[in-house]
Structure 1
Amino acid sequence: MMLPKSVRMVEVGPRDGLQNEAQPVPAAVKIALIDALADAGLAVVESGSFVSPKWVPQMADTAMVLAGIQRRPGVSYPVLVPNIKGLEEAFKSGVEEVAIFAAASESFAQRNTNCSIDESFARFAPVAERALAAGLRVRGYISCVVACPYEGPVAPADVAMVADRLAALGCYEVSLGDTIGVGTPAQVLAMLDAVAPLVPVDRLAVHFHDTYGQALANILASLERGVAVVDSSVAGLGGCPYAKGATGNVASEDVLYLLNGLGISTGVDIDRLAAAGDRISAHLGRPSGSRVARALASKRH
């Protein structure tokens, strides 16, 4: 079993995790969370998004959050930008990395961005071009890489085509997201095998939701294919809005426990990570969504 020697964990809790919370989370709480995650050793902490507050009110204070964090050397604090307006806001906040997001399913693209896949790329092209010209790094996300909540299964060839287009725009990395968390390792491997000939594995990341409890199995399968970048969310923050009551992102603590057990280095401290997750969960008034964090807590009591 050829596994990567090290894995870069991309923490998406402060953005992808918190954006679906119904109650506003104060900027000070977000700032403390981001600082704690960086202190735990995470080298990438997604810190917000410059989208219309009408659509994602929880992210309306992203500029304030970015102004308040203690930026650590060697840590990246990317933000999501859907359009040129968002990119201009990102410039003002001094970001060094932005992310753009596409879908592998036409129905999801229409519902999520009110445009077709082709139209979404027409929007992204100038964003990527201007960001790269300004010296920013650009990351690409793809939703629905296994299945779509409206269309059902998504063909691996469709995912490969979208990944190829994101890479052609200049994305240094493409994150493959199982948005509704239905994928199993066999489906994930079929998808990766379709994408890898077009976008090399060292430019791919995986982003699994744990709706059916398959996220860690899917991550292990991806590692065996050579993927060495994994997106995750502290305390499992982030419900899945397309599946009633479903869990959202795989918990960072659970991913780290898996990687530690495989002898794969990450530079992340599991106790500090779990403590950050426990604090944000306490603020939200619920237990951590991480099984590892709950197990560690029960050992302490």
Structure 2
Amino acid sequence: MAEPNSSYDLCTNSVEMVEVGPRDGLQNEALAVSTADKLELIRRSLAAGVRRIEAASFVNPRAVPQMADAEAVCAGLPERGDVTYIGLVLNRRGAERAIATGRIDQLGAVAVATDGFAMANQGQTSDGSVEVSQEIVALARAAGLTGQATISAAFGCPFEGEVGEDRVLAMALALAKADPLEIALADTIGVGDPGRVQRLVTSVREAIAPIPVRVHFHNTRGTGLANVWAAVQAGARVVDASLGGLGGCPFAPGAAGNVATEDVVYMLERAGIATGLDLAALVETNRWFAGVMGKELPAMVAKARAFPPASAK
């Protein structure tokens, strides 16, 4: 299992990327993607340099049919000592399923910032989701794995609207008591703006240090890349992204795609911030996966001509 980047040096010139395409990228898609194609997506992502990847979520298959083959995907994961495979889990049952595969290295728990979305997504209150996330981190540790937690709807809720920054900060402090590997702030429905991102990442980072802050943005309203930039400048050193910009939550009305891995890598690398990923390989994977999905993927970089052009090199 790869060691995560936990540095909070604001002068650092690198970030760690977490590829969420096989899970968040697919869970809201109507097309049933085969286990073989999911594994090929994972294989190609690893070949492009990805070292942390959400392989699957262990949820009720009736609620999220796309994840019904979670165990089969895990059984086919490449044996790699330098890669961390993440399983998203929402409760003890999901955690036990993920642990039982013997292939998941890290459990990802989800706490939700509002009661309305927590009930729709997980059938529990916001406070209840914090308690369950703490339990999942403890279960991971007891099984010899690592555990991390995400605060979903941290920038806005599809049911309740605005979410107070003080609420998110309080949740982060409560989750920090479980000593997770990291705590992520997720803009589940893509309503965040760079100013708020900068403020919230800064306040949470300072409050939970030395636990790192990870960020997860959706590009629903076109602010995803700006939000990634604001978060990195504020000290986030781990960024979620989805190959091709696919993604969304089945239980969050209006949730659209994640920030695209290719677009984030292009932006950060051009700005001198290393990601460790091969952009050309990501673009090639985008084009292959567009064929699998039967449609052009949202990512912008794959639609544009390569820059610098090969003739200028």
TM range (shorter): over 0.9
Any residues of structure 2 matched to 1:176-215 within 5 Å, and which?
176-200=185-209, 203-215=212-224
Q: Does 1:105 pair with 2:114?
A: yes
* Other-structure match for 1:43: 51
Cα offsets for 1:119-156 (capped at 9, x unmatched): 22333333322211121100111111111111111111
Where structure 1 has 5 or more consecutive residues not aligned to the other structure, the ranges are none
Q: Does 1:25 pair with 2:18?
A: no
Q: 223, 236, 260: which is aligned to 2:232?
A: 223
Tell me by how many angstroms 1:198 deviates.
Answer: 1.8
Cα offsets for 1:29-78 (capped at 9, x unmatched): 00000011011001111100111111111111011111112132311110
CA distance in 1, matches of 2:217, 2:198: 13
CA distance in 1, matches of 2:241, 2:185: 12
Query: Please, what TM-score do these two structures have when normalized by structure 2?
Result: 0.90
Task: Say whether the 8 Å CA contact 1:181–1:214 is kept in structure 2.
Answer: yes
CA distance in 1, matches of 2:172, 2:117: 16
Task: Say whether the 8 Å CA contact 2:18–2:238 is kept in structure 1.
Answer: yes
Query: Please, what TM-score do these two structures have when normalized by structure 1?
Result: 0.93
Q: Does 1:288 pair with 2:293?
A: no
Tell me by how many angstroms 1:101 deviates.
Answer: 0.3
Identify the range of structure 1 (269-278 vs 126-135) with the bigger mean alpha-carbon deviation.
126-135
* Other-structure match for 2:260: 251
Identify the range of structure 1 (290-299 vs 83-92) with the bigger mean alpha-carbon deviation.
290-299
Identify the range of structure 1 (125-134 vs 62-71) with the bigger mean alpha-carbon deviation.
125-134
Task: Indicate the percent of aligned positions where both proteins have the same amino acid.
Answer: 41
Q: Is the helix fraction higher in 1 or 2?
A: 1
CA distance in 2, matches of 1:52, 1:32: 24
Q: 86, 95, 102: which is aligned to 2:94?
A: 86
* Other-structure match for 2:84: 76
Task: Say whether the 8 Å CA contact 1:147–1:178 is kept in structure 2.
Answer: yes
In the superposition, relative to structure 1, how do residues 96 and 240 fare at CA in structure 2: closer, same or farther (>3 Å)? closer
CA distance in 1, matches of 2:100, 2:204: 35
Identify the range of structure 1 (12-21 vs 194-203) with the bigger mean alpha-carbon deviation.
194-203
Identify the range of structure 1 (125-134 vs 53-62) with the bigger mean alpha-carbon deviation.
125-134
Where structure 2 has 5 or more consecutive residues not aligned to the other structure, the ranges are 1-9
Q: Which amino acid aligns with 2:147?
A: V
CA distance in 2, matches of 1:202, 1:271: 33
Cα offsets for 1:193-235 (capped at 9, x unmatched): 3312321276101111111111111111111112111100000
Task: Say whether the 8 Å CA contact 2:205–2:212 is kept in structure 1.
Answer: no
**Off by >3 Å, runs of 4+ in structure 1:** 239-244, 296-300
How many pairs are equivalent? 298
Any residues of structure 2 matched to 1:49-198 within 5 Å, and which?
49-94=57-102, 95-198=104-207
